[in-house]
Amino acid sequence: MPPRPIAVLLTLSVLVACKYREPYQPPPPPPPPPGEDGGSGSDGGVVPPEQPLPWSRRAVTYELLVRSFQDSDGDGKGDLPGLISRLDYLNDGNDSTTTDLGVDAIWLLPVFASPSYHGYDTTDYDQINPAYGTNADFQRLASEAHRRGIKLVLDLVVNHTGSGHPWFQDSASSPTSAHRDWYVWSASDLGWRPPWDPYTGPNCWHQRNGAWYYGLFWSEMPDLNFRNQAVRDEMKRVAQQWLARGADGFRLDAIRYLVEGSGGQADTAETHAYWREFADAVRSVRPDAMMAGEAWTDTSTIAGYYDDLPLNFDFPLAQATIDGVNGGNGAGIASVIDQARSTYAPGATDAPFLSNHDMTRTATRLGSSAGKIKNALAIVLTVPGSPFLYYGEELGLLNGNSCGGCDEDKRSPMPWDATPGGGFTTGTPWHPFAPGQGSANVAAETGVDTSLLSRTRKLIAVHRGSEALSQGSIRWLSRSGSVLAFSRTSGPETVLVVHNLSDSSANAGPYNVTSSRPITLFADPGVTDLSGGTGNFHASLSGRGTGIYRLQ
């Protein structure tokens, strides 16, 4: 981001932060289903699929900021050539190796032209940010990623542009300009506040050249006017163009706020209608494209977007997982999953995650506890849905502390080793590394069987190798207290999963499951194989340990 006066920087920090701190009050959890703790159980409304789901609804996706992943030219900022050089870390294309994470897809935070470090104020949707490389670099990235079996998911910001976009520059120049109606203008200040803070939040109307325009998140991010068919068509064109250039789908930013109307500023009928229109346009060129919506809100509101988009991030589950792991009780996790499954459209696929670029990092929220971090990662990779991991979570990467919890501290450079440049750059990193770089780095954790990195690699491999884990239904076996246990079923395969959410050892079971010869797919040190017999299986769990068993 170019230098700005301190007051402007503070305003930016506050206003952009408003977007990502929308408070919500989750509805009361539903009553536990019958069969808790070993009974007949409940599938939570999930219908086992008859056919394998498309890749976009069963993938393990890795979110990364190009600026922070790998620098290729020594300027201290990551770029596309640098990312290409690190693809084998993400997936080397060989399922027999164990030195890669094995993810199915990578979600790139905004890579289009923008004046800011974060890229959410796009100034040209047709060009890669010059700080990251060129359009040719992107197409080389797509080719190299696809050669390894990695899909590319782009962060697409359609609610607003940057104020420096030529469309807005023309729109603001005159009431009769060609792009005037591409943005939302008023002759007077309408005084709207953000829908998540309607009484004390900052004014969303901003003055320019004698008129007022609507910018929900910041004056330098003017909202596009999606009542204008030209805008609607242009954003569909942008999406189709990047699919043609090698993208495999999109993470869709701020999906709740496209069209303001009589229904308010969020979740209007017009907004839902556009997302259905957009999705149809994407499917017309790529039927299997990923479309993952960001609706940071409660479960019932998220559910409404499953009529529009095939995948939506589960923010309530992210919070419930952190709370459950910190509190040593899985009841809240199970309740949120049940609520989603009873509220979402039939056959909907959840997108579970732990943290993202707008949130304090998982390891920091869990107090740097190695056991709790292990719990959280194991849960997100075994519950129903298409899981997302934020870069560095596999290392236990902490939040930075160089700017008092600013967004940059959540997006610090990837620590590949413990050197001053961290293996990230030969120059000076654009932002300081997070604390703990000496031990939480790829080199230190590689080849160490007990490291978080090695464990995450194993869990991803188990997830990808199991139809039950990647797309199966869920039946709760133990959902209250420190042992969270459930079975996942898809077709003929059933997998039993047990998580110990306490620091002490625990006995799991007995569980009323049927098996003649259970096979251990994954077990932490100190976690035993299943013993007993049909209807009476149990295992011993080490503190914070996980066991995953295929029931033959």
Helix (H) or strand (E) holding 118: none
Lowest mean pLDDT among 1-10, 131-140, 237-246, 345-354: 1-10
SS3 state at 297:
coil
pLDDT in tens, 175-205: 999 999 999 999 999 999 999 999 999 999 9
294 tagged catalytic: yes
Tokens coding 294? 């960001």
pLDDT per position as a tens digit, 159-168: 999 999 999 9
Contact 247, 255 (CB under 8 A): no
Tallying the residues shown for the chain, one arrives at: 552
Is the pLDDT at 551 greater than 50? The verdict is yes
pLDDT tens profile 430-485: 999 999 999 999 999 999 999 999 999 999 999 999 999 999 999 999 999 999 99
Chain centroid offset of residue 503 CA: 28
Per-residue pLDDT tens digits for 227-260: 999 999 999 999 999 999 999 999 999 999 999 9
Q: Which residues pair with 223 in a beta bridge?
A: 160
Q: Which two structure tokens, joined as six digits, stand for 330?
A: 């899985």
User: Residues 253, 260, 467, 524: which is the catalytic one?
Assistant: 253
Report pTM.
0.92
Residues 316 and 305: their CA atoms lie apart, in Å, by 15
Mean pLDDT of 287-292: 97
Distance separating alpha carbons of residues 165 and 159, to the nearest angstrom = 13
First to last CA, the chain: 56
One of 294, 350, 445, 524 is an active-site residue; which one? 294
